[in-house]
Amino acid sequence: MTRQEIEEIVKDFLIEEIEIDENIILPDALLKDDLGIDSLDFVDIVVIVERNFGFKIKPEEIQDLKTLSQFYDYIENKMR
Amino acid sequence: MEGSNVRRVVITGLGIYSSIGKNLNEVRSSLYEGKSGIGIDPERTAYGYRSPLTGIVDRPQLKGILDRRLRVGLAEEGEYACVATLEAMQTAGIDMDYLDRNEVGIFYGNDSSSKAVIEAYNVMVEKRDTQLLGSGPVFRSMNSTVTMNLSTIFRLRGVNMTISAACASGSHSVGLGFLFIRHGLQDIILCGGAQETNSHSMASFDALSAFSVRTDEPARASRPFDAGRDGLIPSGGAASIILEEYEHAVRRGATVYAEVTGYGFSSNGKQISQPSDEGCVIAMSRALADAGIKASCIDYVNAHATSTPQGDATEAIALNRLFGGRPLVSSTKSMTGHECWMAGASEVVYSVLMLRNSFVAPNINFETPDEHSRHLNIATQTVDKKLSHVLSNSFGFGGTNSALVIKNI
């Protein structure tokens, strides 16, 4: 899976399932402060990522992620 | 209890989402026309039910009305309750700005959230990992799912709890709201009842062979008090009622739809599924005494009668003991089916619609009286009549009984 494919999948579920405004989904966006993703949303994102990418996010692996770009990096690394 | 120092409790808002209509206007028309909301759910047969009969209730569409976080925790019955409450708040003239500035409480009847529990169980069986359940199931699965969600959606800051009392849940929620306001603990309380209608929700009830199997004519299957009745038909939706202290409502300029003047309750203390005419009489008598009126003041009884052989006979005996054949009697369950946890609240809404529009809805499908119902004054057709006092009965498993007196104002 290419980086571009990963970004497309993530962007799609952020829009469709987490219902985030498409216009603010930018690589430098802060997950919490810009995109408004809260702790309960992350519980749902664990499920969505498992369904789309076939692996389960471990909470301790993502607690330092700040931006969407870092989240893409994290998924890309896990998919290697 | 009538007297100058007693705080009067009135109904200033109503909302309904049911098998006979998705709002007050639709439901009023259905009640007047004697329209049934019963149909066949083929999924029930495939699932293993004895009876596929059910009230047909569409899933409301809340996307675009509530944001995602407010929808994620809503179970099916919570979605119904949300729609009913939006209408109740609108009719009460209460908006979010008012709710942010004033304390409003909630008592809502609910006694299951089966679909949410079973869906979470199915994920666990497949995944064997709680981390793959997501954030919604815990808020959808608990019995208090409706109150925890409505209090969040409507930003309620007063008393907040679910009343679980089987098929009397909705009625007790109104009764307890009435007591809280009368005794000065709250000025406004959202009361109501919600009932899921999915195929998971009633399987264990169907196990008792309590449901009608008159599948060849669904609209004629629910026949409370009729000699040919063969069981109830499960149904659901939600009903919301805004109770408010009278002077408070007047100061606010709210429309007063009716007054709640009496609440009676009792417990049979006997076998878990058997009704008791004595328990019914005690609850009704308490409601009348609480309202300070005699039985002869009741113009209309909205009966609990669900179309089961024993339940209807027991209520008919109780009604005969207390009222003789004087007041008009009908069971709106003949049209709606048995709305279970919701029924006590929805039947308050139905009764208020009758009070406000001066009619008694028919007990459809009542064709042949039995030895007990032949003594009752059952409305077999719609009766145009100005009503003064209505009694609404609800009785549930475990012998929980509730009766409410509602007065025209």
The answer, yes or no, to whether residue A11 has pLDDT greater than 50, is: yes
Query: Which candidate from A19, A41, A56 shows the least CB-CB separation from B131?
Result: A56
CB–CB of A10/A27 below 8 Å? no
- Tens-digit pLDDT profile for residues B274-304: 999 999 999 999 999 999 999 999 999 999 9
B82 counts as catalytic: no
The pTM assigned to this predicted structure is 0.96
Residue with tokens 């048995």: B338
Listed residue (B133, B119, B189) closest to B158, CA to CA = B189
What mean pLDDT do residues B165-186 have?
98
Q: Which domain holds residue B155?
A: 10-399
Contact B402, B302 (CB under 8 A): no
Domain count, chain B: 1
* CATH number for the domain that contains residue B147: 3.40.47.10
Nearest to B58 by CA among B41, B35, B33: B41
Task: Find out whether B85 and B192 touch, Cβ atoms under 8 Å.
Answer: yes
Interatomic CA distance for residues B338 and B37, integer angstroms: 11
CB distance A17 to A44 below 8 Å: yes
ipTM value, please give it: 0.92
Sign of the four-CA dihedral B148, B151, B157, B161: negative
Q: How many CB atoms lie within 10 A of CB B310?
A: 11
Task: Tell me whether residue B5 is in a domain.
Answer: no
> Rounded to whole angstroms, how far apart are CA atoms B82 and B88?
10
C-beta atoms of B72 and A44 within 8 A:
yes
> First vs last Cα of chain B: how many Å apart?
17
CA dihedral sign, ordered B144, B15, B106, B269: negative
Confidence of residue B325 (pLDDT cuts 50, 70, 90): confident
- Does residue B409 lie in a domain region? no
pLDDT in tens, B18-65: 999 999 999 999 999 999 999 999 999 999 999 999 999 999 999 999
B178 burial level (CB within 10 Å; 0-12, 13-18, 19+): buried
The pLDDT of residue A63 is 85
Q: Which of A19, A43, A56 sits opposite B134 (nearest CB)?
A: A43
E-strand stretches of B101-236: 105-109, 160-163, 188-195
In this complex, which of A19, A40, A46 lies closest to B131 when CB atoms are compared?
A46
Task: Return d(Cα A20, Cα A10) in angstroms, integer.
Answer: 11
| Per-residue model confidence as pLDDT tens digits over B221-257 | 999 999 999 999 999 999 999 999 999 999 999 999 9
For residue A39, what is the nearest residue in chain B, using CA coordinates?
A: B135
**Residue B367 near residue B225 (C-beta atoms within 8 A):** no
Question: Contact at 8 Å (CB) between B345 and B81?
Answer: no
Q: Name the domain count of chain A.
A: 1
- B389 as an active site residue: the answer is no
**Average pLDDT of the residues in B143-163:** 98
- Find out whether B281 and B318 touch, Cβ atoms under 8 Å: yes
**B321 Cβ neighbours under 8 A, 6+ residues apart:** B277, B281
Q: Out of B172, B200, B248, B304, which one is annotated catalytic?
A: B304
Beta-carbon contacts of B269 under 8 Å, excluding residues fewer than 6 positions away, are: B279, B399
Give the minimum alpha-carbon distance from A58 to chain B in angstroms, rounded to a whole number: 9
Residue B85: Cβ-neighbour burial (10 angstroms; 0-12, 13-18, 19+): buried
CA distance B73 to B79: 10
CA of B202 to nearest chain A CA: how many angstroms apart? 29
Q: What is the pLDDT of residues B73-123, one digit of tens each?
A: 999 999 999 999 999 999 999 999 999 999 999 999 999 999 999 999 999
DSSP strand pairing (B237-245 vs B188-195) = antiparallel
> From the CA of A20, how many Å to the nearest CA of chain B?
9
pLDDT given for residue B332 in this prediction: 98
Cβ atoms of A48 and A4 closer than 8 Å: no
CA dihedral B223, B224, B226, B231 (to 10 degrees): 70
- List pLDDT tens digits, range B327-373: 999 999 999 999 999 999 999 999 999 999 999 999 999 999 999 99
Q: Quick check: B71 contacting A, CB < 8 Å?
A: no
Task: Give the integer Cα–Cα distance in Å for B406 and B409.
Answer: 9
The CATH number assigned to the domain holding A44 equals 1.10.1200.10
Q: How far apart are CA B108 and CA B116, in angstroms?
A: 18
Write down the H helix ranges in B114-164.
Answer: 114-127, 136-141, 145-153
Structural domain of A21: 3-79
The predicted pLDDT at position B1 comes to 47
Using 50, 70 and 90 to split pLDDT, how confident is the model at B4? low
With CA atoms as reference, report the closest residue to B333 among B357, B310, B364. B364
